[in-house]
Structure 1
């Protein structure tokens, strides 16, 4: 059985949640590493400078093995850790969430804060597009320009039915197509290429990497 990897989100989302007149605005943003996450946090702080708190949580790394959070002045354990738990429960990585709070004059208590921060992050992530990740092997094939259109169409159709994804295409003296394929799908790709080229095309198998893949 192939190893399962945490998912991520396709792009930034923002969501506002109000409880007892306090506004909680969550920004969820892709972040491939802690430095990128810190840049997102800094931008939210700059943009929402008048908020009382900017509580944060981030998970990064292919395996989601790097995590940190901050209560930013809220009572210890009432904001950052609950936010981080939402990311963990959803099995996400390479993502940062920032919840900016404008105090509404009514104290929520520890339990109320935990619920508010958790709910705000959960509702924001409900609006995000989740990107699945999996280990795939790079395969590239060089094609004469005269055959590029036909092979391109064949590859696009093939990846849609074999849990694979297309990579970059480079046009030089020949067209070079790149696809990321499950290891056990390489023989089927070789067969497909042989079929569309009367055996003339030979794919070159490269490294394995964890990449974004389309939904099954």
Structure 2
């Protein structure tokens, strides 16, 4: 189950009636990471009036978590429009923050909703994305002589070594993209390496 995620932090400025809206979209796959992005933006623009945000974690079609904040703007005029844009854009693991500098002219509730929506929409349109590939864990039990072979094979199949424990034999936990698992297991079986699927 792969899905698009932000490939890099992207920022865009949008102006309405002298109010400046700075939208920043970035990768976040946990609430902690999303809040760290928010803290970083607050540091970057410490004198801004509002830092409104929304995030969507996991696969955009079936997110594991979503949240938003109006950060002092009238209820429902900032966080909700930002989240609404995210829910229609098919990008997962994303944090979108819109920082507002007030320009002296009130926009009214409808004006705020439009401004936050447009700001979020515009940054998403220029946001580069890449595919997030879910990795599945596998446990291997093998002789010491096969350790280097497994490391090489894991790399070849776009996987990662999660941990390696040494006892009488070597226990290695690897994570691989789902599509690579059958070929990986077949190669292991050919050389007598025992694979246990989690």
1:1-216 maps to which residues of 2 (within 5 A)? 4=1, 7-60=4-57, 63-133=62-132, 135-139=134-138, 144=145, 148=149, 152=152, 159=157, 165-168=158-161, 178-182=174-178, 186-193=181-188, 199-202=190-193, 204-207=195-198
State the 1:101 CA deviation.
Answer: 0.9
CA distance in 1, matches of 2:182, 2:56: 36
State the 1:203 CA deviation.
Answer: 5.4
Distance change in 2, residues 1:136/1:171 (3 Å): closer
Asked whether the equivalents of residues 154 and 161 of structure 2 are also in contact (C-alpha less than 8 Å), the reply is no
CA distance in 1, matches of 2:30, 2:73: 25
Query: For 1:117-157, what per-residue CA distance to the aligned partner results, in whole angstroms no more than 9, with x for missing partners?
Result: 122222323343434345543246667479649x83x6655
TM-score (norm 2): 0.71
CA distance in 1, matches of 2:22, 2:145: 53
CA distance in 1, matches of 2:148, 2:73: 62
Query: What is the CA RMSD across the aligned residues, in angstroms?
Result: 3.6
Distance change in 2, residues 1:14/1:66 (3 Å): same
Distance change in 2, residues 1:190/1:88 (3 Å): same
State the 1:116 CA deviation.
Answer: 2.1
Asked whether the equivalents of residues 31 and 37 of structure 1 are also in contact (C-alpha less than 8 Å), the reply is yes
Unpaired runs of 5+ residues, structure 2, are none
Asked whether the equivalents of residues 139 and 203 of structure 1 are also in contact (C-alpha less than 8 Å), the reply is no
Q: How many matched pairs?
A: 191
Distance change in 2, residues 1:179/1:49 (3 Å): closer
Asked whether the equivalents of residues 138 and 205 of structure 1 are also in contact (C-alpha less than 8 Å), the reply is no
